[in-house]
Amino acid sequence: MGNPNTGKSTIFNHLTGIRQRVANYPGITTEAKHGTMSLPGGSAELLDLPGAYSLTASSPDERVVIDVLLGHEGFVRPDLLVCILDASNLQRNLFLASQLAEFEIPMILVLNHWDVAKKQGLRISREKLEEHLGVPVLATVGAKGEGIAELRAAIAETLESPRKMTRISWRDGVNEAAAAVVSGGSECGVELTRPEAMRLLFDFNSALKERFPAERRKELEAILDRARETVHAAGLNPAAAEAVLHYGHLERILEESVEGEVSVAAGQASESIDRLLLHRVWGSLIFLGIMWLVFQSVYAWAGPLMDGIDSLTGIVQDAVSPLLSGLPIFQSLVVDGIIAGVGGVVIFVPQIVILFLFIALLEGSGYMARAAFLMDKMFGWCGLNGKSFVPLLSSYACAIPGVMAARSLEDGKARITTIMLAPFMSCSARLPVYLLMIGAFIEPQYGAFVAGGVLFAMHFVGLAVSVPIAWFVNRVVTRTPSLPFILEMPRYQVPVLRNLLLKMWEGGREFIVRAGTIILAFSVIIWALLYFPRSASVEQAATETFMQEVIAAGGIAEQELATRLADEESELATELRNRVEGAYVEQSYLGRFGKAVQPVFDPAGFDWKVTVGVISSFPAREVIIATLGITYKLGGDVDEESDSLRDRMKAETWTSGARAGQPVFTIPVVVAIMVFFALCSQCGATVAVIARQLNWGWAILSFGGMTLLAWVAAVVVYQLGTFLSSISSP
């Protein structure tokens, strides 16, 4: 345990190495890690709890810490607490330790950043501290790995012969009040320990109240009020009492144990850097530059790696395919379902790893806090805080790493809001759809300038729709208030390479294992829906029709046609294959579903082919291009630039119904399709990651809500667009 920014993670990483996992506590998504460290004669499980300045628990996430300390809710009470302190700011750091002492768990104190303290001219006597506090006091420089061996030894030793930190001697008024809370709790049917009673007493609206049945809570409030009165009567401000008493006690100890000037400020060097980085003009510009860099790296630099994975997937597919040619169904399942599915998971890993690298760099250097500081005001309006900036920005490249990055937000409400907003940011997968539609329909009619403008505007549709919703939910619907946003800006440091690598590794691993399995499952399901039912009669019928068409068009005799078609590489054979593929898709469950569901999308102007494309792209947006290619009988290898696809779409007309004979792709339809894609939840991977980071309830809400929103928006756009164009062209 320890304050944030004390190098706690570095030391944890030293002790556990790669044998660590992100701990996933049910219902809570605070970032905690657990790992194994080896000890002489065995091993120990080490739990890294999120950094905290105090044990105040107003939110469920903070309550987890108390539950762990007491061994409640299925946690095992720890045998030893290793408290990591920043040696250059001992007083504030020892506050947490002093609070922890109340829980009477054996402790070791680790003074990290020992080198910085020395440089600041502080001479800390560890012996004196050990004398006063009653527990081993070690010195480490986590970044350099100094003192780690001694720490291991001390841990082993203290487990053998435990030592507990000396508790402060509270004043009578406080002892009385705490006792009153304990007995009052007992009367309400809850057996409280003294440390719990103190948390209820000192914290405002402690989450520990949830231990009490709802009907007794009013009683509890009265008990707490009376207890606080007792504290007040003893001459103390109840909100300040805990801090005043701990800090007073610590000041006396530190006076005897530490020599040297401790300034009001955190550090000279950092302050000089901040003069530039927090400068109203220069600081903001540098910030924009850094954010652009982060965005570019995820958006563009991951590109070559992603292309590589794409090619590799293709190579594997081509390699495996002939091996299974005897079993067509199995072959398709493995090649088009499983390998494509795995490829579809792995392709996200470069983006995730690169983003996590940048985040680790920003956090490790201390700059992240400055970025949150600069951005905070804007985010406050939606109930978020400045820390949401990086997750949301990254979501513009891809929501998956963005959602995963939101894990580090301590404020539960801000975290949930950030994760729900992330999919609205126009991710890179939407771009092919925009490019296809704009390139085929808008640019020819309105020119490159308008086309560029529309492309730019599309990037903000999601933002424009989601931010007011977030604002509304925040103002009107919120039940839990956000935590006060008090942010520490730590000393600038050089990030530790080991930490960076471990963070990258952990991010990639967690994605593949947790979300990857779900994405793979989706891919196989969609494969199946597009493949089945597959009957030979479909192929036969399509082939016959094709041959008749070719013969009727003139020029080729039946015999010659058969020979030409036997040659698999010939143009005719390729065209026939595309035809057959298209016919299969039309007959598939997904195809039939698309046709059946088309009436739902009719008010948005989508015909059945567009509907099938939309539905098939629910697992992944870009799939629509390939699906359109197949349904338009051009084969699945088209992309958003393909002229053949564009021409086909321009020529497409309604074959039946009210609009029979009219073009399918009018401008209102085109815009409606783009708006639909801007707002719809069409990324199985994102839904999976949201489910893992929050729970399935939120994931389903995100999916359902966004899809509904997209449909409404598409309908509005189409109806309005058609109406406007009908009155403007007489």
Binding residue (CB under 8 A) for another protein from 176, 488, 506, 575: 488
Q: In this chain, which of 36, 270, 297, 543 binds another protein, going by CB under 8 A? A: 270
Minimum separation from the CB atom of position 335 to another protein (A): 54
- Assess contact for 3 and 53: CB atoms under 8 A: yes
Q: Reduce the DSSP state of residue 254 to 3 states and report it.
A: helix
Question: Residues 463-482 vs another protein: string with x where CB under 8 A?
Answer: ------------------x-
Q: Report the alpha-carbon distance of residue 351 to residue 356 in Å, rounded.
A: 9
Least distance (Å) from another protein to the CB of residue 490?
Answer: 8
Q: Contacting another protein (CB under 8 A), which of 75, 247, 593, 698? A: 247
Using CB under 8 A as the binding rule, whether residue 586 contacts another protein is answered as no
Cβ closest to another protein, residue 188 vs residue 262: 262
> Which of these ranges, 42-50, 71-79, 236-244, 528-536, lies near another protein under the rule CB under 8 A?
236-244
Q: Does 45 bind another protein (CB under 8 A)?
A: no
Cα(349)–Cα(510) distance, rounded to whole angstroms? Answer: 10
Instruction: Tell which residue, 204, 206, 106, 97, has the closest CA to residue 192.
Output: 206
Count of alpha carbons within 13 Å of 709, Cβ hemisphere only? 20
Which residue in the block uniquely carries the two structure tokens 């922890």? 100
In this structure, what DSSP letter does residue 602 have? G
91 touches another protein (CB under 8 A):
yes
- Using the contact rule CB under 8 A, the part of the chain among 162-170, 239-247, 335-343, 423-431 near another protein is 239-247
Query: Which residue's CB is nearer to another protein, number 246 or number 648?
Result: 246
Question: What is the secondary structure of 57-91 as a DSSP string?
Answer: --SHHHHHHHHHHHT-TTPPPPS-EEEEEEGGGHH
Q: How many residues does the chain have?
A: 730
Q: Which is nearer to another protein, 324 or 483 (CB)?
A: 483
Greatest distance between any 2 Cα atoms in the chain: 108
Rounded least distance, CB 113 to another protein, Å = 12
- The answer to whether 263 contacts another protein (rule: CB under 8 A) is yes
Instruction: Answer yes or no whether residue 284 interacts with another protein by CB under 8 A.
Output: yes
Of the candidate residues 44, 278, 572, 700, the single one contacting another protein (CB under 8 A): 278
Task: Report the nearest approach of another protein to the CB of residue 590 (Å).
Answer: 49
- Part of the chain binding another protein (CB under 8 A), chosen from 256-264, 337-345, 589-597, 599-607: 256-264
**Binding of another protein at residue 56 (CB under 8 A)?**
yes
Alpha-carbon distance of 82 to 155, in angstroms, equals: 8
DSSP bridge partners of 585: none
Residue 119 contacts another protein per CB under 8 A: no
Q: Which is nearer to another protein, 18 or 240 (CB)?
A: 240
Helix (H) or strand (E) holding 110: strand 107-112
Stretch binding another protein (CB under 8 A), from 264-272, 572-580, 581-589, 611-619: 264-272
Minimum CB distance to another protein smaller for 473 or for 483: 483
12 in contact with another protein (CB under 8 A): no
Dihedral (CA of 489, 491, 493, 498) sign: negative
CB nearer to another protein: pick between 382 and 550: 382
User: Which CB atom, from 287 or from 608, has the smaller least distance to another protein?
Assistant: 287
- 3-state SS class at 325: coil
205 scored as a contact of another protein (CB under 8 A)? yes
**Residues 664/714, Cβ–Cβ less than 8 Å:** no
Q: Please, what's the b/e burial string for 362-397 (b: 16 or more CB within 10 A of its CB; e: otherwise)?
A: bbbebbbbbbbbbbbeebeebbbbbbbbbbbbbbbb
d(CA 116, CA 112): 9
**Least distance between another protein and beta carbon 68 (Å):** 19
DSSP string, 213-225: -GGGHHHHHHHHH
Q: Radius of gyration (Cα) for the chain, nearest Å?
A: 32
CA distance linking residue 519 with residue 683, whole number of Å: 9
User: What's at 126, amino acid-wise?
Assistant: R
60 binding another protein? (CB under 8 A): no
Q: How far is the CB of 371 from another protein (least distance, A)?
A: 11
Q: How far is the CB of 373 from another protein (least distance, A)?
A: 5
Q: Does 54 bind another protein (CB under 8 A)?
A: yes
Decide: is 675 part of the binding site for another protein (CB under 8 A): no
CB of 376 to another protein, least distance (A): 5
Interacting residues with another protein between 364 and 383 (CB under 8 A): 369, 372-374, 376-378, 380
Q: How far apart are CA 551 and CA 556, in angstroms?
A: 6
Query: Helix 60-70 and helix 194-202: axis angle, to 10°?
Result: 160
Q: How far is the CB of 206 from another protein (least distance, A)?
A: 10
24, burial (CB in 10 Å: exposed 0-12, middle 13-18, buried 19+): middle
Contact segment (CB under 8 A) with another protein among 263-271, 311-319, 411-419, 555-563 equals 263-271
Q: In whole angstroms, give the CA distance from residue 113 to residue 138.
A: 11
CB 174 within 8 A of CB 231: yes
Q: Which residues contact 307 (CB under 8 A, 6 or more apart)?
A: none
Residues near another protein (CB under 8 A), total: 52
Of 173 and 721, the one with the shorter C-beta distance to another protein is 173
Counting contacts by CB under 8 A, is residue 272 touching another protein? Answer: no
Instruction: Give contact residues for another protein (rule: CB under 8 A).
Output: 53-54, 56, 58, 88-89, 91-92, 95, 202-205, 237-240, 242-244, 247, 262-266, 270-271, 274-275, 278-280, 283-284, 369, 372-374, 376-378, 380, 481, 483-490
